[in-house]
Amino acid sequence: MTTLLDVRDLVKTFGAGEAETRVLRGLNLTMTSGELAALLGPSGSGKSTLLTILGTLMHPTSGRHTMLGVDLTTASDHALTEFRNLHIGFVFQFHNLLPDFTALENVIFPTAVREGRETGSARSRGRELLVRMGLGERIQFPTANLSGGQKQRVAVARALMNRPDLVLADEPTGNLDRASALQVMDLIGEINRDEGTTFLISTHDEKIAAQCRRQIVVGDGLVTG
């Protein structure tokens, strides 16, 4: 079991002076490759903030953030963009897809943006992933015409496109009905089992969390369990 990521004494505050909010207060977390982990905690506990920092979309106020042995705490925007593209996949709750593009175009975006064009091999991997997500009939669909559950499955396929080491999902099922939510979670579990991709999924739904092998609970800006 190799260490995938490690954060030490992570502090994140927003605002300053009177309006200062301390969201993370010295949080520590280590994850190993191949984990399927749920990130639990009440609304406002800092789940999204933690995922955003782990996803290199935001710098912590203080603390250390390493992943794959790389110190990301002080890396430049350019270096982080490249790191993110190669090693991290995202699934968000809302506004996940580019609405003016087809399902396939959305899925292959992470590869195309790196290679500067949409290659044939990227397209065939994108198709494979969509088929795997049960969207074989929706490959050329404009994403605007997809249902909520279908959109989230496209987002999962896109998160997997560049064979990332870590997929961060921020309440990926928060917007879905129970059946769609379970379908998405089943697919995530399948990918985790078959490919060994590490997942960290935030949720405040105990049933969703129960599908993960590890539960990380945040509260008061710390990991509490």
Ligand X SMILES: Nc1ncnc2c1ncn2[C@@H]1O[C@H](COP(=O)(O)OP(=O)(O)O)[C@@H](O)[C@H]1O
Whole-number Å distance between alpha carbons of 65 and 102: 35
Instruction: Using DSSP bridges, classify how beta strands 70-71 and 3-14 pair: parallel, antiparallel or unpaired.
Output: unpaired
Residues 133 and 154 sit within 8 Å (Cβ to Cβ): yes
Give CA–CA dist 159/62, Å, rounded: 28
| Residues 79-138 contacting ligand X, CB under 6 A | none
The closest alpha carbon to 22, from 10, 8, 32, 40, belongs to 10
Which C-beta is closer to other proteins: that of 12 or that of 127? 12
Phi-psi region of 171 (alpha: psi -120 to 50; beta: other; left: phi over 0): left
Which of ligand X, other proteins, Mg ion, none does residue 77 bind (CB under 5 to 8 Å by kind)?
other proteins
What region, left, alpha or beta, does residue 182 occupy, with left being phi > 0 and alpha being psi -120 to 50 degrees?
A: alpha
Q: Is 44 in the site for ligand X (CB under 6 A)?
A: yes
Considering the complex, what minimum distance in angstroms separates the CB of residue 218 from Mg ion? Answer: 11
Q: Does 141 bind other proteins (CB under 8 A)?
A: no
User: What, of other proteins, Mg ion, ligand X, none, does residue 120 touch, CB below 5 to 8 Å by kind?
Assistant: none
Among 27, 35, 41, 185, binds ligand X (CB under 6 A): 41
Interface mask (CB under 8 A) for other proteins, residues 148-187, using x and -? ----------x---x-------x-----------------
* CB-based contact 109:131 (threshold 8 Å): no
Name the residue nearer to other proteins (CB basis): 63 or 110.
Answer: 110
By C-beta, is 32 or 93 nearer to ligand X?
A: 93
21 interacts with ligand X by CB under 6 A: yes
Whose tokens are 């769609």? That residue is: 180
* Choice from 100, 186, 190, 195 touching other proteins (CB under 8 A): 100
Closest CA to 92 of 53, 52, 60: 52
- Determine the Cα–Cα distance for residues 128 and 142; give it in Å rounded to an integer: 18
Establish if 81 lies at the interface with other proteins (CB under 8 A): yes
- Contacts with other proteins by CB under 8 A lie at 48, 52, 55, 57-58, 77-78, 81-82, 84-86, 90, 92-101, 109-110, 112-118, 158, 162, 170
Which residues lie near ligand X (CB under 6 A)?
Answer: 14-15, 21, 23, 41, 43-49
Q: Residue numbers of the site for Mg ion (CB under 5 A)?
A: 48
